[in-house]
Homo-oligomer: A and B are copies of this chain.
Amino acid sequence: MRRAAAPGRASATIEVVADRAGVSPKTVSRVINNERGVRSETRERVLTAIRHLDYQPNLAARGLAGDRSFLIGLFYDHPGDYLSEFQTGAVQRCRESNLHLMVEPLEAASPELGRDLSTLIRQLRLEGVILLPPLSDLPVVHATLAAAGIPAVHIAPMRQQDDAPSVDTDDRAAVRQLTTELLRRGHRRVGFMLGRAGHRATEQRYLGFVDAMHANGLDIDPQLVQTGNFEFAEGLECARRMLDFRPRPTAIFASNDDMAAAALCAARQMSLALPRQLSIVGFDDAPVASMVWPQLTTVRQPLRVIGRVAAELISEYQPHRQGWPRPVPRRHLPLELVLRGSLAPAPQDS
């Protein structure tokens, strides 16, 4: 014996299974990998042996022999509350394809970013990667991935690259719809709180707002469009400025829920009656959206689905064909409006 066996748990190998099923290891391998060309009776016999021995193929051996890894990487910069939902969706989809997810935080600002990424990819022999923003937009990441030659799916990238598959949501349409809900309730002076410059979401959400306003023949007051950078603290000041204008806006559309919560605080401090004197809507359906009073009307991100779809794209990639099919796959997911208490008809006297 080569090494002291761990207590009692010497897992069966493919050979043991083969013996028991009365076939060669190669045939067992065929069954495991779902290859065609195995008589169904033989397959049954092998499957039975596998079940009986509780056999688990050794991933490392499969990887080494087959030049695969069964691993895909999920790279992110700042963790946020959305990450765990996203990754749970991705893992679920991975399981269906017998893949596994490695999560790897990475510093977008680090000068070592390219090397770190490349090291991880090559050491783990990743079969694909999923990139969360803002990583999905960095040229150095693109370059490294191209050099590595593995499929990469970009989540909500700023600019769609011709050669980069992506998954994103139709933020523009959702904001257009929700803004329309505001207008339908009589709101005319609506403040809009922008996200951080450089994010695709910032741009798309604003465009959706503009769409709806123009479609209803309304002009946009530049004073009522300000940035809160997706942050609560900045959103607070931003909201205060907006609410100081006269005539006061009767509604505020914040580009995310954190800022919407900030607007709510600001309004409260000014003793406005909510939602009667001010309607507030946000975006994301973050946990905070339903933990304030009134609860925030917002747009729900299908985070799990996004994760699932991202993993799906990777698992559908056919390495033996050269690269992605053209045009590269892109998934555009719909969003769902969540109407809650923070949205009310505009005050009569406005």
Contact = CB atoms under 8 A, between A and B. Distances in A.
Interface stretch (A23-31, A193-201, A288-296): A288-296
A6 interface: yes
A87 B91 CA distance: 15
A250 interface: no
A286 B286 CA distance: 12
Interface stretch (A60-68, A152-160, A171-179, A202-210): A60-68
Interface in A60-98: 60-61, 63-64, 67, 69, 79-81, 83-85, 87-88, 91-92
Interface stretch (A116-124, A135-143, A222-230): A116-124
Nearest to A257: B291
Given A59-B124, A60-B63, A291 B258 contact: yes
Interface stretch (A35-43, A261-269, A342-350): A261-269
Nearest to A8: B149
Interface stretch (A99-107, A212-220, A240-248, A328-336): A99-107
Contact of A292 (B6, B286, B291): B291
A123 B79 CA distance: 28
A148 interface: yes
A11 B147 CA distance: 12
Contacts of A122: 9, 11, 56
A317 interface: no
A125 interface: yes
By size class, the interface of chain A is: 35 or more
Contact of A81 (B91, B104, B149, B287): B287
A58 interface: yes
Interface of A is mostly: helix
A105 B92 contact: yes
A57 interface: yes
A111 interface: no
Contacts of A290: 232
Nearest to A232: B291
Contact of A88 (B3, B60, B79, B264): B79
B287 A265 contact: no
A7 interface: yes
Contacts of A124: 59, 100
A141 B128 CA distance: 31
Contacts of A100: 102, 124
B85 A79 contact: yes
Interface string A272-302: 0000000000000011101111000000000
A125 B262 contact: no
A101 B103 CA distance: 7
Contacts of A265: 291-293
A7 B61 CA distance: 23
Contacts of A264: 293
13 contacts: A3-B67, A6-B149, A58-B125, A60-B61, A60-B64, A61-B64, A81-B287, A91-B105, A100-B124, A264-B293, A265-B293, A268-B293, A292-B292
Interface of A: 3, 6-9, 11, 56-61, 63-64, 67, 69, 79-81, 83-85, 87-88, 91-92, 100-105, 119, 122-125, 147-149, 232, 258, 261-262, 264-265, 268-269, 286-288, 290-293
Q: What 3 pairs between A and B have smallest CB-CB spacing?
A: A79-B84, A81-B81, A265-B293
